[in-house]
A and B are shown apart, each in its own frame.
Chain A
Amino acid sequence: MAQTTTSTPAAGGIDLNIGKILLEGRAFFALVAIVITFSFLSPVYFSGSNFLTMSSHVAIFGLLAIGMLLVILNGGIDLSVGSTLGLSGVVAGYLMQGVEIPSSGVILYPPVWAVVVLTIALGAFVGAVNGVLIAFFRVPAFVATLGMLYVARGVALLMTNGLTYNNLGGTEALGNTGFDWLGFNRIAGVPIGVIVLAVVALIIGLVLMRTAFGRWLYASGGNERAAELSGVPTRGVKVSVYVLSGVCAAIAGLVLSSQLTSAGPTAGTTYELTAIAAVVIGGAALTGGRGNVRGTMLGAFVIGFLSDGLVIIGVSAYWQTVFTGAVIVLAVLLNSLQYGRSGR
C-alpha cells in the first residue's frame, strides 16, 4: 500500500487516497488489527475489564512516551527516563518509610501529597540537569542522557542498597496512607493510572496545538537556526522539554510503584527504549519537528496491546521481543516513506 503513494503518484485517485489514508493512519489501523487478531485468538482478550487492565500497563509507557515525544520533537533524545522512573519510585518509597532527622532523632512521615510533589520535583530536577547540559554546555543529547541513565540508576541502587521498599501502604496513625490510591483505585471503573495518562496527554496535546510554547517547540525542532532568528527562545524551549520529560518519568514512577505497592531500584530498566518506540510508531520523526500526542498515544497502545495480547495467548516472552522489534522497524520504514527524502 505504501508503494502506491510514493512510486506512482499518478495512479488512480481512489487507490492513492486509500494508500495515503492507510499510511497516515497506520498506527490506528495497526491497533485495530492487533485488537481484531487477538480477539479471534483468545476469548478473554475482547472484554472491557481486559482493556482496562492492559490500559493501566500502557499508562506507564504512555507517560514516558509523552515526555519522550516532547524531547524528540525538539530533535533530541532522552535515554534517562527509565532510570528517572526507577529513581522516582525509590525516592517516593524512601519518603513513605519516614525521614529521620539525625540531629533531633525525630522521624518525619510526610503526607502522600508532599511525597508526590517532592518526587515530581525530583523528576524536574533530573530533567533540568539534562537540559542545561544539552542546551548550554552543548553536550550531545544522546551522551548527556546516557550519562544520566547510569547516574540516576546508580543513585537508586545506592539509596536502597539494591533492596526494594516493600510497604508503601502507609499507616493510618501516621497520616500517610493513600499512596496505593494512584495504582489501585478506579473512578467510574477506570484505573487512576489511565486517568492520569489521559489528563497528561490532554494537557500536553493542548500545549502543543494551542500555545506559543508548542509552536516554538515545533519550530525549533524543525529548524533551530531559523527559529532562533525568528525570535524563538530556543535554549529555554530545550531545557523545558527535558524538564517535562523528567516530570513525566516521575509521574510514571509514582504510578508504577503505587500499582506494585513497592519500589525497587531496578524498576523501569530499558523502558526508555519502549517509550522511544511508541513515539516512533506514532509517526514522529527522530530528526525533530514532526509528531503529535495522538500518534504517540496510539503508538503506546500498539506496543502495550501487542505485548499483553502475546502474553494472553501464551506466546513466549522471547517471541514478544522479536515481534516488538519488528513492529518498531516497520514503523520507521513507513515513517521514511511518508516523509520521503525531506524527512531526513
Chain B
Amino acid sequence: MTALQTITPETFTADEVVMSARDVAKFYGPLQALKGVNFDIHRGQVTTLFGENGAGKSTLMKILSGIIAPTSGDILLDDEPVRFHGANHALAHGISIIHQELALAGNLNVRDNIFMGREIRTATGVNFAEEERITRSLMEELEEDIDPLTPVEELRLGQQQIVEIARALQAKSRILIMDEPTSALSSSEVEVLFKVINDLTAKGVSIVYISHHLEEALEITDHAVVLRDGEMTAWAPRAEIDIEWIVRNMVGENFNLGARPNSKMGAPALTIENLCVPDASGNGLVVDHINLSVRSGEIVCIYGLMGAGRTEMMECAAGRLKAQSGTVKLHTQDVSNLSISERINAGLVLVPEDRQRDGLVQTMTVGQNLSLSSIAAFTRGLFTSRKVESKVIEDSIREVTVKTESGATMIGALSGGNQQKVVIGKMLATQPEVILLDEPSRGIDIGAKAEVFKLLASTAEKRGLAVLYSTSEVGECLSIAHRIIVMNRGRIAAEFDHTATKEQIMAASGEAVHH
C-alpha cells in the first residue's frame, strides 16, 4: 500500500453507510424484476452482488446508478431519500458505473473516450494537453501501457475494459459500481484492478461489485448481497460467508421446473462432429472441435458461462454461422451445407437467444409470428388459405399455451414469457425432429420458465423430439435434461448424467474455481 502515502486519507469509520436501498422494487410491465431489496453500502468498502442471470443484479445496478427509476421503494444517499433523473444526475451525486457492455466510442482515441461528455474546457476550446496528461497518469496507475492517442477500436477487449475503468476513476466518484469488470481481463490485469480497488477503498470510495467469478469476488469483497429471481435471499459480511453459502443462496432449492420425461429414446437425431467455428477476429476458435449427439426423445442441456461458445455452436448447427470445419448430421443426412430454410425443412430448428433481435417480428401479430416458418403448410396453389392458417395458429396457441386474446393481437402486447412461447411455437409448428434452444429461459419469470420446460419435456416424450437447450443457470440443468454437457472456452469440459450435482457442474464450467 505504498500508493497510500502519497494521498491524504480522509478520516471515516468503516460503519458509515453512504447509500442504502429500502424495499426497492421494479416492474417491467407485468414482470417483476426486483421484489423489495434492502441493503447498505458502507463507506470505503466493497459490496458484491451475487446472483444468476436474470436474478435482478443488472436492474438493481441500473437503479443505483440512476439509469432507471424504481417502481417503489427508496434509495437513500447519506440517509436522505434521493430520486435520480438519469445517469448524469447520479454522477453529479458522485455515483458512477462501469458497464459490462463497454460504452466506448471505438472511433475516438483513449483520451477522448475518458473525457467524453466532461471535456476540460478553456475559452478557446478543449485543453487536450491536460486531458492527455491525466489520461497518461491514469494508465500508469492501472499499470497499462496504452498511449492516450490510440483509437479505442485498436485495443483488445481487456484494454478497452481498462479504458472504461479509467473513465470511471477520472470521474472521482465516491460510489463506483462495477458490472463484471473482470470478464475480459487477464489474471495479471485482474490483480492490478484489485490493487486499484484497494487504493480506492482506502481513500473512502465505496465499490459495488458484480462478478460471476465467485472466488475472485470473495477475494476483495467486504459484504455480499445475494439475489435470486428478483428477491434478495441473503446479505452478510465477508467474515460469515463462503462459496457454498453463496451458491446455496444463489441457486436455492430446486424449484419445480418440470421433470425428466420418460421418453423412448431412438437413434441419434442430431450428430455434431468436430465442429469448429472461428471467432470474430478470425484468429481463434469460439467453437473448438465439438462432438456431441442427441437422440430422438432425448433432452440434453448445455451449461456454460457467457462466451463459452454455446450460442455460436447452436447458430452454426442451424446454418446462421459458417463452420470452419466439421459436420452437422440430422439422422443420417449431412446438413452441413444446407441453408437455414433447408435445415428447417429437413427438421432442424433453432430458437435463438435474443428473442427481440432474432426471434420476433415486432410489426406483426401473434398469429403471423407463429405461422411464419410454416407458410407452406397453409398455402394452396399460389395463395395462402386463411381458414387453414387460422387453424394452424389456433392449434399452436393451444399447444404452447400462449396467453393472448387472439392470434390478431400485436406481438408486443404479450409478456416476455408468452413471447418466448410464440418463438418456440413457431418452430414447433414446422414439425421438427430436432430443436435447439439457446437460453430459452432468458428474461422470463419463474412461472413461465416452468411452463417452457414442461412444454419441452412433453413434446420430447410425445413426438420423440430431440431437444438441445443451453442455460447459464445451473438449476435449469437438473430439471428436464437427461444429460448435461458443460462447455468452457469453446470446448466440452465435462459431461454428466442427470445425477450430477450443482457443484460438479459449476466447477466444470470454470466458474467458482481457483484463481
- Measured CB to CB, the residues of A under 8 A from B are 206, 210-212, 215-216, 218-219, 221-223, 225-233, 285, 288-290, 342
Contacts and interface: CB of A to CB of B under 8 A. Distances in A.
Contacts of B362: 222-223, 289, 342
Interface in B322-346: 339-341, 344-345
B482 interface: no
A228 B382 CA distance: 22
Contacts of B350: 229
25 contacts: A210-B383, A211-B379, A211-B383, A212-B376, A212-B379, A218-B361, A218-B363, A219-B364, A222-B363, A223-B357, A223-B360, A223-B361, A226-B357, A226-B358, A226-B360, A227-B372, A229-B352, A229-B358, A230-B344, A230-B372, A230-B426, A231-B345, A231-B373, A342-B362, A342-B412
A227 B383 contact: no
Interface string B67-87: 000000000000000000000
A211 B382 contact: yes
A233 B340 CA distance: 9
Contacts of A218: 361, 363-364, 368
A135 B144 CA distance: 43
Contacts of B375: 212, 215-216
Interface string B428-460: 001000000000000000000000000000000
B363 A289 contact: yes
A31 B54 CA distance: 51
Q: Which 10 A-B pairs have the closest CB atoms?
A: A289-B363, A222-B363, A231-B341, A222-B361, A231-B344, A212-B375, A210-B383, A223-B361, A230-B373, A230-B372
* Interface of A: prevailing SS: helix
Contacts of A212: 375-376, 379, 384
A233 B319 CA distance: 13
A229 B320 CA distance: 7
Contacts, number: 77
B158 interface: no
A215 B384 contact: yes
B318 interface: yes
Given A218-B361, A218-B363, A221-B363, A229 B368 contact: no
Contact of A211 (B363, B364, B384, B412): B384
Contacts of B340: 228-229, 231
A206 B383 contact: yes
Interface in B262-304: none
B357 A233 contact: no
A215 B368 contact: yes
A230 B412 CA distance: 18
A225 B360 CA distance: 9
Contacts of B426: 230
Given A218-B363, A223-B357, 15 more contacts: A206-B383, A210-B383, A210-B384, A212-B379, A215-B384, A223-B361, A223-B362, A226-B360, A227-B361, A227-B372, A228-B340, A229-B358, A230-B344, A231-B430, A290-B363
Nearest to A224: B361
